[in-house]
Structure 1
Amino acid sequence: MLADMIWLNGLIATELIQITENTSASLRGEVPEKCKVEHKMLKERALSIISKYSQLGGLDEHVLKHSLKD
């Protein structure tokens, strides 16, 4: 159960980062490059933490797909 909670929290964390980027892009027209770099690092860190306690179960592919759009 703990692994499931960690995975779910990781999903929420990475999606909130993506929502922040999408909102910024809507307001500014584009996400500043500095933010893109920092958000990518935060997403990678979240995936690293999740992988210690739970299988990623496709979350990494989903998160990386978002990063490819940036």
Structure 2
Amino acid sequence: MSADNVSLLIYIKEMIADLIYMNGIIATELTKITENLAAIRHGEDFLQKSRCLPEHASINQSIIDLVKKYKQLPKDQEMIHHLEKHVLKHDES
């Protein structure tokens, strides 16, 4: 395999990893939007009593784990840290 082919494969791998990261952001933000809409429509008590919040937390952790699986370069660690902080600690203020 030529050096050009290897470079292209590395580029494509990094591009796919970036797309996984962006999709992770979109997925976790859509979950939060859904929670906010449920709270607006039914009230905060409804949301707190439902099974949704723990399930969403588990889904969000799975999304973070997928991002970590494909974003393994040292330069990616800061992005992952910010995503974890925003998604997993969103309500801890």
- Decide: shared fold, TM above 0.5: yes
Which structure is larger by alpha-carbon Rg, 1 or 2? 2
Which structure 1 residue ranges, 4+ long, deviate > 3 Å from structure 2? none
The structure 2 residue matched to 1:44, chosen from 37, 61, 67, is 61
TM-score by length of 2: 0.67
Q: How many residues align?
A: 69
Distance 1:36 1:52 in 2: 24
Gaps of 5+ in 2: 1-14
The percentage of aligned residue pairs carrying the same residue is 42
1:61 aligned to 2:85?
Answer: yes
TM-score by length of 1: 0.87
The structure 2 residue matched to 1:25, chosen from 23, 39, 42, is 39
Partner amino acid, structure 2, of 1:65: K
Deviation of 1:48 (Å)? 0.5
Distance 1:29 1:41 in 2: 22
Q: Which has the bigger relative contact order, CA under 8 A and spacing at least 6? A: 1
The structure 2 residue matched to 1:5, chosen from 19, 24, 49, is 19
Gaps of 5+ in 1: none
**Higher deviation after alignment, 1-10 or 60-69:** 60-69
Partner amino acid, structure 1, of 2:18: D
